[in-house]
Structure 1
Amino acid sequence: MENILEINGLCKSYRDFSLKNVTFALPKGYIMGFVGQNGSGKTTTIRSIMNMTKFDSGSISVFGLDSVKDTIEIKQRLGVVFDSMYLAEHLTARQIEQQIRPFYTKWDSDDFFAYLKRFSLPDDRCVGDFSKGMKMKLMVTIALAHKPELLILDEPTSGLDPVARDELLDILSDYILDENRGILFSTHITADVERIADYVTILNNGSVWFTGSKDDLAESYAVVKGAESAVPDGLKGRMIGFHSYRNGFEAMIRTEDMRGLPDALICEKASIDEILVYIAKEAKNAGHTECDTL
């Protein structure tokens, strides 16, 4: 299976935060959900892929090219949507299209205006007057208009109403029908990941906590609840994010550790949201803190 994106041993240190040996790969033809709480390192990783941040060590390959040495060629073939708009707000969408078009060899003006129409965006109104959701849809339109082979999206559904979110996810699903493409999809809305992603990478405090197929993740963890007295000796230490209540406890457990659990305990498959919550509880139990800004 050929990878469209490979990250190996990525390290980047700031004064109060660091990426630590981040390693994962995205195969061609698939969507990867890139998740983790604020401060886990998702944006730093994305900026490193884009050669917008100088990392300390490791390597990043996009289309088999070096992310630093071949950055110009990579950016011709890459579409990116950040979580805030970078466009001049006094311009209209039509004027923005005229300014951006010369930079891309595969820019398609017909596609650009077709996406504007699909998203119900005006082409003659200053984009500074757009709502947050409209601005996000405009950036998605720009990202798609030059026919990228890899899409990197940082919180693309943030600020979108449910109808627009559904429409965007449909567009991404159509885009990935071309098996030579790929999508790295960073989001806090894990329901979107569960709907369209094939692979999931979870970052926690600058490190990869999990990377693999969404199905493998779903089968690997469960939430267990019940009376704390019913927990077998030695198992509590292997539970993740253990939390006691007056009437019992709840925690996450690896499915491989579920053998021999008493019937008195309730076990349910863990959603991605629940996995992130229990990771955070485990960090709190261990006395760790997270940076809220990177």
Structure 2
Amino acid sequence: MNVLEVKGLCKIYPGFQLREVSFSLPEGQITGFIGRNGAGKTTALKSLFHFIHPDSGEIRFFGEAFQENELSIKQRVGFISGGVDYYPKKKLRTITAVTKSFYRDWDEQDYRRYLGLFHLDESKTPSQLSAGMKVKYALALALSHNAKLLILDEPTSGLDPVSRDELMDIFMELCRKGVTILFSTHITSDLEKCADRIVYIHNGQILAESELQTFISSYQILTLSAEQLTDALRPLLRGLKPAKYGYSALIRTKDAMKAGLSGTAADLESIMIHIEKEGRA
């Protein structure tokens, strides 16, 4: 079962277009939403909830059209955006009291557990919190109303490595309980720790939607000297760029095998760097 289905989502701005964005989220899996700054990640995520009104497209949560079932759907979804902020001078306990009144399935025990895990002090105000602590507070709220789907825009932004690792552990724990998670991030190592799948957006279009390990294993990295960089080889390469010794390029594993070439194993970061240079998957 797909918890979220997006079909043909479009949003046109004078200098940017979100074009025919389509993807789905299987239940109980963690999906990373990747792409460079300005690729359309935040526009796409906010369009799902009509914080930005899309020009066209179909959005279905739990099999239900969002527009006709907005209130009931929002009871089952947690959303965090890096652009969302709180009243800076209100105490956290006051903000929490208002927030939880909107959710019929608020779990106070879970909320207290996340406060302790994230070392949050309810007597403080948002203005007294670091950027990382604000993210942790937003997560504590989102994780405390028994949401079946979490959609998170850059949730690890501003967090130190230990806090990020704790968050990945929480994601995997939630996933084992059947919660579905979509989160965008620039920190590809976080995805490699916990993600089942990736959706890759480039310049407003989906370039890839795949199982994470299938996507990574479909590429290799070649390091080539100038002499090895032949005209016959060039069409097989993606994102050719200077390296310390010669050149570095991405090649599909199947193309490398056909050409009798042996590259090194790629990781998600190196794949993104080369694809973004080339502009195609």
Alignment of 1:103-252 (within 5 A): 103-179=102-178, 181-231=179-229, 233-244=231-242, 248-252=246-250
- Residues in 2 aligned to 1:245 and 1:152: alpha-carbon distance in whole angstroms: 37
Aligned to 2:90: 91
TM-score, normalization by structure 2: 0.94
* Partner Cα separation in structure 2 for residue 268 and residue 198 of structure 1: 22
- TM normalised by structure 1 equals 0.90
The runs of 4+ residues in structure 1 deviating greater than 6 Å are: none
Give secondary structure in 2 for the equivalent of 1:164: helix
Match of 1:74 in 2: 73
Render the CA deviation track for 1:177-207: whole Å, top value 9, x for unaligned: 122x200011011101111000011111111
Corresponding residue SS for 1:176: helix
What amino acid maps onto 1:12 in structure 2?
K
Aligned residue in 2 for 1:291: none
Q: Which residue is 1:31 aligned to? A: 30
**Equivalent residues of 1:203, 1:209 under 8 A apart:** yes
The question of whether the paired residues in 2 share the 8 Å contact of 1:231 and 1:261 is answered with: no
State the Cα deviation string for residues 149-174 of structure 1 (Å, max 9, x = none).
10011111111111211111111111
Q: CA deviation at 1:245?
A: 5.9
Give 2:272's aligned residue: 276
SS at match of 2:10: strand
Structure 1 vs Structure 2 CA RMSD: 1.7
Query: How many aligned residue pairs are there?
Result: 280
Unaligned stretches of 5+ residues in structure 1: 287-294
* Amino acid of the structure 1 residue aligned with 2:34: V
- Which SS does the other structure have where 2:133 is aligned? helix
Q: CA contact under 8 A between 2:20 and 2:205: conserved in structure 1?
A: yes
What secondary structure, in the 3-state scheme, does the structure 2 residue paired with 1:258 have?
A: helix
Q: Indicate the residue corresponding to 2:63 in structure 1.
A: 64
**Structure 2 counterpart of 1:270, one-letter code:** A
Amino acid at match of 1:267: G
Q: Measure how far apart 1:244 and its partner are.
A: 4.5
Alpha-carbon separation, structure 2, partners of 1:124 and 1:11: 43
CA distance in 2, matches of 1:152, 1:245: 37
CA contact under 8 A between 2:223 and 2:243: conserved in structure 1? Answer: no
